Amino acid sequence: MILQIAHRLIGEAYRLFGLTSRRTTIAGRSIHFYEANSEQHDHTLLFVHGLGTSSSTWILTLPQLNIQGHVIAPDLAGFGRSPLEIGEPVPTLEEHHAILRSFIMNVPRASCSLVGHSLGGWLAMLLALDDPDRIRNLVLLNPAGIWHAGYENVRTAFDIRSKADTRRLLNLLWHRFPSYYRPFLGSIHSELQRRRVFDLVSTIRREDFVNDRLCMLPMPASIIWGTEDHLLSAETIAIFQREVRHGRVITIPHCGHVPQLERPFQAVKALRLALGNE
């Protein structure tokens, strides 16, 4: 209930910043998204959130970017305002990829830039590999999807069966988990269980990782990396820099896995730089 109220308030805040709440149906699933539409621009920016979150993750950054174009921030199936029906199976990573691919194909713009966080970064890389000529820019915030030693521990971290498990996960995600969130720990735990995040993690296969395809990304690509990420290893950025031809890394110190929430001012500055707006 508390998080539902928070989502409504965030939705109202997005409306005040010029984003409209919309809904579409893809592969039989109802997908909610926020959109700011400008007929004066033929370019789209698609923001893809991470595992266990929703489009609300961009509330502290997206309005501050002052983008004068076409902006879309969807809720992945099963997250935010795109809930699953009772008894409906959790989409696999491959299915999330297919839904977003259909979603972006219906965007009537000549080119796109992709911004993705964590799982959303993984999906953004897959979308960029689908249609590299259309993607102008790729921006990844602490992205998942690049295999490194110890990655198997990430799956274990999302096996949350108690509030103590949820607290442990949040401490991995944040450099310093905010004290004002702690009273909501029970609600966060219930929401993560409702979204069945571990079920999704369990569908991921070794061949889903993009390491051997990173060299096929021709567009400018940037990683924005919170240096105190305790969920993913910094080996991610080492592999990225080695494999991506036009790759750049922008680090945010004293920041964990969620820069857009933990260090929003620095994240906005990094996003502007990565998107060529600064």
* Structural domains for the chain: 2-274 (3.40.50.1820)
- Distance between CA atoms of 212 and 208, rounded to whole angstroms? 10
> What is the per-residue pLDDT for 85?
83
Q: Is the pLDDT of residue 1 over 60?
A: no
> How far apart are the C-alpha atoms of 119 and 131, rounded to whole Å?
19
pLDDT at 222 over 60: yes
Residue carrying structure tokens 């502290």 = 60
Distance CA 30, CA 78 (A): 10
pLDDT value at 277 more than 80: no
Q: State the pTM of this model.
A: 0.94
- Spatial neighbors of 10 by CB under 8 A, at least 6 apart, are 56, 59
Cβ atoms 102, 26 nearer than 8 A: yes
pLDDT of residue 39: 65
Distance CA 218, CA 202 (A): 31
The predicted-structure confidence for 164-220, as pLDDT tens digits, reads as follows 999 999 999 999 888 777 777 888 888 788 778 888 998 898 999 999 999 999 999
Q: How far is CA 29 from the centre of its chain?
A: 19
Least confident of 38-52, 72-86, 198-212, 260-274: 38-52
Between 38 and 223, the more confident residue is 223
Reported as type and span, the H/E element at residue 168 is helix 163-173
Quick one: average pLDDT of 49-54? 93
- Measured over the CA atoms of residue 220, residue 100, residue 266 and residue 147, the dihedral's sign is negative
Smallest Cα–Cα separation from 21: which of 9, 35, 10? Answer: 35
